[in-house]
Amino acid sequence: MTKKLKGKKILVTGGAGFIGSNLCESLLKLGVHVTCLDNFSTGSKNNLLDFVDSKNFNLIEGDIRDLNTCKRASKNQNYILHQAALGSVPRSITDPITTNDVNIGGFLNMLVAAHESKIERFIYAASSSTYGDSYSLPKIENQIGKPLSPYAITKYVNELYAENFNLNYNLDTIGLRYFNVFGPKQNPNGPYAAVIPLFIKKLTNYESPVINGDGSFSRDFTFINNVIQMNILALTTDDKIAINQVYNTAVGERTSLIEMFLLLKKYLSKHDPLISQVEVKFGPERLGDIPHSLASMEKANKLLNYSPSYTLEQGIEMYVEWYIKNNNND
């Protein structure tokens, strides 16, 4: 299936971010001509160093909140992988206006640009936060609750807009609801760092990470390679029923935060036995958090033939090796 992508032109918005840069690198290895659009508000030029000089890579520094920039980046592209967004539930609670401007205004700009440029398929990063206050497990795509944060609202609106653009403009879209993605190039620094890179940074500095709540909250932690796999499947499927859908993008396994912490300790301790002595601390539950998250992978398996290539433990082992090698414990 991946041979179909060779020579194609793909725009990756947010291509300097954690997920976007991993997508860019994987696509380049498949012989794709990749254009990256990023304003470097959360992405990093360091994430592009391994391939920035590739003849098949083009970098546009710009903001998706500017429609003309979106149109310029989308011109002559075959596909768009829209990853650009302001992530983080806490950030959206602190600053809902900017989150809305980027995640809804910028998303709409990209849809308009995609339509005008006659993009063949628009694949976008959706979010498991869309399930909101729904307590049913596993999470099934057509059963969602009310959003619990401004961020969750923006990601749900993305799905509505994508469906509407297919209805009114015949733009083919696929939404991928990411579940707690982790892996190489994920930033462990800053106030909105994701839990796994943040915990690795803490542990390698012999500091106790803080779990919000009692550690029983659980997540469907998803290694980045599984996300890349889903994006490739979404790009290459020929099944018309599989297009204009939204899919969970996860592993389909639930792991508590304390179990995740113990796995990190296990693999980090192989490099530094002193880490095994570091204990976790517990803090108050975080506003907007859902207690448990577990994805049903039935739809993705049935329509995209998706079966995750990496378990949580395999992903953590690979991520720890990458982290230690790249000295990202500063």
Catalytic residues: 151
Q: How far is CA 170 from the centre of its chain?
A: 26
Supply 320's token pair: 């720890």
Gap between the Cα atoms of 116 and 253, Å rounded: 40
Separation of alpha carbons 278 and 275, rounded Å: 5
Among candidate residues 117, 246, 96, 220, the one with its CA nearest the CA of residue 169: 117
Question: How is residue 292 annotated by DSSP?
Answer: B
d(CA 266, CA 269): 5
Is 221:312 a contact under the CB 8 Å cutoff? yes
**Helix ranges restricted to H, the chain:** 18-29, 67-74, 89-94, 96-100, 107-116, 150-169, 195-204, 224-236, 257-269, 298-304, 312-325
Give CA–CA dist 43/46, Å, rounded.
9
d(CA 254, CA 47): 29
Instruction: Give one DSSP letter per residue of 117-166, joined into a string.
Output: TT-SEEEEEEEGGGGTT---SSB-TT-----SSHHHHHHHHHHHHHHHHH
- Let me know if 311 is exposed, middle or buried by CB neighbors in 10 A (0-12, 13-18, 19+): middle
